[in-house]
Chain A
Amino acid sequence: MIPATFDYHAPGSLADAVTLLDKLGDDAKILAGGMSLLPMLKIRLAQVGHLVDIGRIPGLDYIKEEGGTLRIGAATKESALERSDLIRSKYPILLDTALVIADPVVRNRATAGGNLAHGDPANDHPATMLALGASVVVRGPKGERTIPVDQFFKGLFTTALAANEILTEIRIPTPPAKSGGAYVKLERKVGDFATAGAAAQVTLAANGTIEKVGIGLTNAGPTPIKAAEAEKFLAGKKPDDATLQEAGRLAAKATNPSVDRRGSVEYKRDMARVLTVRALKAAVRRAGGQ
């Protein structure tokens, strides 16, 4: 399968890329790892006049902690997250996520920024980033702005990014002590999109109750879903089994999945419930709770 014809541009700097996008407008699409965009162009679900490849812009590939924030450059490969000592030791929720995105060979090209900017509710990072309370830094002609991830996803394949803006960095607040997170995904086979997926990030108070919690759901509706009601319900409670089960039920209520070969609406909704409970239990365990 061969994509319809387009012009290819490979700017050497962010400034040049933004200028180019500003000039080309809606007729251009940003190419990062290309693991979602190129298949769409090949099967002609999408057609563009111009591809602006940001893969040759230096300085967009890093994983570092600075001043209480984990900063991930948008062009960081999923395989780099998977192999990073910092991620492996301090951000198990991100390791969980990286390990179930597509397959190991695809992860050598797929980027963390692209996984968010594509705006696909079936992608795995959005749920994780919702649970972590992350934000994204975007660069446009007027400079930089920061968008909280819970305001980033506007609709199916639609984000808060303007046509002339580039997602440059993901920022995650470093979780305090007694925090833990986990991502669980139900998939038919390696490389498949999630039948359902749930991310949970928990911080426990000194008395063992839940001080802070974030829950994100994958492929459970037209956008990645933040299970706000379940989060509100859990705040201040002891994370016992009955409480976590109720949180699972509330999270499932927030879903709006569609039927496909992965399952019926009822099945997917129930899997969202089950996986939310599993993610919460793993998160609590990793936070040092029961």
Chain B
Amino acid sequence: MSMHKITVTVNGAPRSAEVESRLLLVHFIRETLGMTGTHIGCDTSHCGACTVLLDGEPVKSCTMLAVQADGRQVMTVEGLEKDAKLDPIQEGFMQEHGLQCGFCTPGMMLTSYALLKRNQQPSEDEIRHAISGNLCRCTGYVNIVKAVQYAAAKQQ
């Protein structure tokens, strides 16, 4: 077993810790840092509940080691709100009722947030393609797509 001193910038703030090699990024976020907005769903990289942004790109944090994130930027759902103001994607999920149980929502929002950074006016197909690695078992995706469209319109 080897231990590693790592520093990961999480939502803009550098966070350092001594971690075991095998510690997964999602456990670093939830247990070491105590930020439980990032969820663990399937734990096999299928469902996307654990999605966070790594240097701006969505990744599944249950299938990455914390040491692999050393020196890099991570954004979690807690980083969406700025100065007590919701990000348009959060507003969209609220206004369009883009969730029922809320379990997939952090991952859905981060994947959609990254999509809107790359593509300000995605088509419905492009939205559905982008979130195809994030599973929702409640809503049937219709309102999730509407939520992303709401955020896209709001950002124009």
Contact = CB atoms under 8 A, between A and B. Distances in A.
Interface of A: 1-8, 10, 31, 34-35, 38-39, 41-43, 51, 53, 55, 79, 102-106, 108-109, 190-191
Among A43, A102, A105, A109, chain B packs the most CB atoms within 10 A around the CB of A105
Interface in B21-76: 21-22, 24, 27, 43-46, 48, 51, 54, 57-60, 63-65, 67-68
A238 B153 CA distance: 52
Contact of A8 (B21, B45, B111): B21
A106 B130 contact: no
Taking residues whose C-beta sits less than 8 angstroms from the other chain, chain B's interface range is 20 to 34
11 contacts: A5-B22, A7-B2, A35-B45, A42-B63, A103-B48, A103-B133, A104-B129, A105-B48, A106-B45, A108-B57, A109-B59
Contacts of B129: 104
Among B57, B64, B68, B134, chain A packs the most CB atoms within 10 A around the CB of B68
A39 B45 contact: yes
B119 to A, nearest CB: 11
A190 B63 contact: no
Given A104-B130, A106-B133, A34 B64 contact: yes
Nearest to B66: A8
Contacts of B45: 35, 38-39, 102, 106
B43 A1 contact: yes
Given A34-B64, A38-B64, A105 B22 contact: no
